[in-house]
Structure 1
Amino acid sequence: MTLTLIHTAEAHRATFDRLRESIAPGTALHHVVREDWLARAQGGIDDDLAREITEAIAAADGPVLCSCTTLGPVAETAGALRIDQPMMREAAQSGGRVLMVYCLQSTEAPSLSLLRREMDRAGNDSGIELLFLGQYWPLFEAGRTEDFAVAIATTVREATADRDDLGAVVLAQASMATAAERLTDLNTPVLASPELALRAALARITPA
């Protein structure tokens, strides 16, 4: 059985292929890259876009992982695993306050709604803080992924300095994952979504 991944950035293809090789070598991945879907979703997901996403998920041969947080709610309704769900669940189970970091306004509502849902499920009433870093998104769009990761990591480090009330920091978008690699020395866990989501998605594949 094949795992289908729906992306809105070409860069995620290589990210998940690398993760696949370290987690489950040989597993078949089918990538669907639709950058236009994210562009169209910036003003809200209309009926036409929702139908296209739903049809793509229904046509997949096996489970589907959607790596775009903006499209997450529609993808989840259609039966896909949204990339941030395993990460938000782990953050909620930390028992402490959660700092949610994001770079796109279109990510805020779906990610915050999901995190609140997982916090409720975990019985965690410590609260959520938001850190919007939209000023760095042009770096990612320009392909300057290293500069993007450094900028995010630097700002998160500053925002969490001398904090002892945080249970977790979540980097809400898959594109931010490499910043987490620069923050492993923090006392607060910094969670990124790709590896957690891929492990959860692979668990949905049953051997033939």
Structure 2
Amino acid sequence: MNRKTLALVHTSSSLEPVFEQLCKEKKLDVDLVHIADSTLIRDVIADGELTADTLERVLHHLTAAEDTIADYIMVTCSSIGPAVDAAQSRLHKPILRVDQPLAEEAVKLGAKIGVVATLVTTLTPTADLIRRQAEKVGKEISIETELCSGAFDAFLIGDLEKHDLAVKDAIERLAPKVDVIVLAQASMARVASQLEAGAVSIPILSSPSLAVDYLASVL
């Protein structure tokens, strides 16, 4: 049986080892192809949204990913996740938003859903995706959001301690109000494991692990 190829489109090369390690841990036996372009997230932040011009650049990368003879493609940044919808009609290979399995699991686990993000440009697309998933399954939900101001800037300069502390504080503020918490960016995933035992009693979901679990079921 031929090994399959999974192409990952990132807005930060720092996510490459995260997904390499997850695939090993979950025994997802695929060849990985990484395409990283940090100018995408830079421009989304500067513009405050995913503009038509940036969308076209994302679509260019997705087309390039398909040209690598990938069997499956995943976009690992929630801020550019909406590009997946636009890509469906252009690509012949299946494509996944990294936060799609996350949204499905969040809606399954609770009616009051908390979303924590370090970028405002991630809060809106993540919340919209969760709402669409709830509508799809006919479930009424409410969403509470927490923006970790300054955390993303700290992440960019390598101050992970400041970044992680801001995310942990946001999780602990939000936890009493909701049934489940969603960490909206893949770069936040490791923070959940840093919480002290008993600090938060509700599920905390992050996209990388759930996305790789899903891919393991279809590849």
Give the TM-score normalised by the residue count of structure 1: 0.88
Q: Is residue 208 of structure 2 the alignment partner of residue 194 of structure 1?
A: yes
Distance 1:36 1:177 in 2: 22
Q: Is residue 187 of structure 2 the alignment partner of residue 182 of structure 1?
A: no
Displacement of 1:26 in angstroms is: 4.1
Residue 34 of structure 1: aligned partner: 37
Residue 91 of structure 2: aligned partner: none
The one-letter code of the counterpart of 2:83 is V
Q: Is residue 7 of structure 2 the alignment partner of residue 4 of structure 1?
A: yes
Query: Would you say the 8 A contact 2:74–2:98 is kept in 1?
Result: yes
Q: Is residue 56 of structure 2 the alignment partner of residue 51 of structure 1?
A: yes
Displacement of 1:111 in angstroms is: 1.0
Deviates more, 1:125-134 or 1:42-51: 42-51
Structure 2 residues not aligned, in runs of 5+: 89-94
Displacement of 1:147 in angstroms is: 3.5
Distance 1:192 1:156 in 2: 12
Residue 117 of structure 2: aligned partner: 102
Q: Is residue 125 of structure 2 the alignment partner of residue 122 of structure 1?
A: no
- Provide, for residues 115-169 of structure 1, a one-character-per-residue CA deviation record: whole Å limited to 9, x for no partner: 1111222333241111111221111111222442233113312332xx2x62210
Displacement of 1:72 in angstroms is: 0.1
Structure with more of its chain in helix, by fraction: 2
Residue 157 of structure 1: aligned partner: 172
Q: Is residue 147 of structure 2 the alignment partner of residue 144 of structure 1?
A: no
The partner residue of 2:18 within 1, 11, 15 is 15
Give the TM-score normalised by the residue count of structure 2: 0.84
Query: Would you say the 8 A contact 1:172–1:192 is kept in 2?
Result: yes
In the TM superposition, 1:66-105 aligns within 5 A as 66-79=75-88, 80-105=95-120
| RMSD between superposed Cα atoms in Å | 1.9
Q: Aligned pair in 2 of structure 1 residues 146, 17: CA closer, same or farther (>3 Å)? A: farther
Deviates more, 1:185-194 or 1:44-53: 44-53
Distance 1:108 1:154 in 2: 17
The partner residue of 2:217 within 191, 203, 206 is 203
Q: Aligned pair in 2 of structure 1 residues 21, 146: CA closer, same or farther (>3 Å)? A: farther
Higher RCO (C-alpha under 8 Å, 6+ residues apart): 1
The one-letter code of the counterpart of 2:202 is T
Query: Would you say the 8 A contact 1:84–1:193 is kept in 2?
Result: yes
Distance 2:172 2:50 in 1: 34
The partner residue of 1:111 within 126, 130, 134 is 126
The partner residue of 2:73 within 55, 58, 64 is 64
